[in-house]
Amino acid sequence: VNWMRVGFIHGVMNTDNVSISGETFDYGPCAFLNSYHPETVFSSIDVNGRYSFGNQSKILKWNLIKLAQTLLPLIDTNQENAILLAQQTLDKFDTLRDDYFYTIMLNKIGIENKTKDDRFLVNELLDLMQKLNLDYTNTFAAFSQEIEILFKPLSNNPLMKEWLKKWEKRINQNSNGIETAKNIMKNYNPIFIPRNHKVEKVLNNACNGDYSDFNTFMNILKSPYSFKDEFHSYLDTPNPDFENEYQTFCGT
């Protein structure tokens, strides 16, 4: 879930790429989300979207089920009891995942003291982002730091205007209002991510012996939550052709 907070797609989150602690590793065909679409896939081998952005937490549960199956003989010598005990534990996963997911997503929009109704605010925003084809990182960055080149297009959209009114009303009900919300959001919303088209450019230049872009890029990514105007070009999203055709591989 924390990877999803920053729009990360692991790409091949199968059982041997998730540790017993729940952490993922072996980042082969990984990539970051641009436009928000839960079904986004970049991995060349993931033709059915099994490891798509929005499916990652479901796959984690699947992996836990597979782990539980191997542990059944150690849970109880009676297989029926072992299955029952394992199932009771696995049944807690969805509630725990949803609670953590909405806690993180509410922090991304500056809300700490959550209520049950706040989930609707998150869901409405994500639906709007998908409908309007909005960039995942830039949208949240626009809220948290009011970067003009990012925020202006959002605030001018009629649908987003309506959502922003609801959000501002909710923020003003929450503790110390907008300034507190901004401070919360700044810790949860990166400004800069290793966007796929930027990564490819940096790699191509480095392969040709020019490491200047690589050095700049690495310095930017060391402080992903800090906006610097001279690096605003790193906020640029890829053109649709690149986005639609880009693939990652296990050797990426």
Mean pLDDT of 235-243: 92
Is residue 88 domain-shared with residue 9, that is, in the same domain?
yes
Position 175 scores a pLDDT of 60
Domain for residue 250, yes or no? Answer: no
Domain for residue 52, yes or no? Answer: yes
Position 151 scores a pLDDT of 80
Mean pLDDT of 9-31: 90
pLDDT for 173 beyond 90: no
Report the percent of the chain where pLDDT is more than 70: 97
Dmax over CA atoms of the chain, in Å, equals: 65
Q: pLDDT for 110-127, tens place per residue?
A: 998 889 899 999 999 999
Domain for residue 149, yes or no? Answer: yes
Q: Which one from 16, 91, 229, 241 is the annotated catalytic residue?
A: 16
Q: pLDDT for 56-103, tens place per residue?
A: 999 999 999 999 999 999 999 999 999 999 999 999 999 999 999 999
Is residue 15 domain-shared with residue 91, that is, in the same domain?
yes
Distances (CA, A) of 46 to 10, 53, 130, 169, 199: 11, 11, 21, 42, 21
Domain for residue 102, yes or no? Answer: no
- Specify the amino acid at residue 244: N
Q: pLDDT for 176-202, tens place per residue?
A: 688 889 899 999 999 999 999 999 999
Is residue 37 domain-shared with residue 86, that is, in the same domain?
yes
Position 252 scores a pLDDT of 58
Domain for residue 107, yes or no? Answer: no
Domain for residue 231, yes or no? Answer: yes
Is residue 23 domain-shared with residue 82, that is, in the same domain?
yes
Q: pLDDT for 125-168, tens place per residue?
A: 999 999 999 999 999 999 887 777 788 888 889 999 999 999 99
Work out how many domains the chain is built from and give that number. Answer: 3
Position 41 scores a pLDDT of 95
Is residue 9 domain-shared with residue 65, that is, in the same domain?
yes
What's this model's pTM, rounded to 2 decimal places? 0.92
Domain that holds residue 13: 2-95
Tell me if residue 94 is catalytic.
Answer: no
**Burial of 100 per CB tally in 10 Å (0-12, 13-18, 19+):** middle
pLDDT for 212 beyond 70: yes
CA–CA distance, 91 with 158 (Å, rounded to integer):
41
Backbone φ and ψ for 110, nearest 5 degrees, come out as 85, 20
Is residue 179 domain-shared with residue 200, that is, in the same domain?
no
Is residue 91 domain-shared with residue 7, that is, in the same domain?
yes
Closest Cα partner for 51 from 67, 36, 66, 30?
Answer: 30
What are the residues whose beta carbons fall under 8 Å from the beta carbon of 129, sequence distance 6 or more? 36, 136, 139
Is residue 69 domain-shared with residue 147, that is, in the same domain?
no
CA–CA distance, 240 with 107 (Å, rounded to integer):
30
Can you name the residues that pair with 43 across neighbouring β-strands? 248
What are the residues whose beta carbons fall under 8 Å from the beta carbon of 171, sequence distance 6 or more? 110, 111, 177, 178, 181
Mean pLDDT of 229-248: 91
The secondary element (H helix, E strand) that includes residue 9 is strand 8-9
Query: Tokens standing for 33?
Result: 């989300």
Q: Is 212 helix (H, G, I), strand (E, B) or coil?
A: helix
Domain for residue 18, yes or no? Answer: yes
Position 153 scores a pLDDT of 80
Is residue 73 domain-shared with residue 9, that is, in the same domain?
yes
CA–CA distance, 195 with 41 (Å, rounded to integer):
14
Position 86 scores a pLDDT of 98
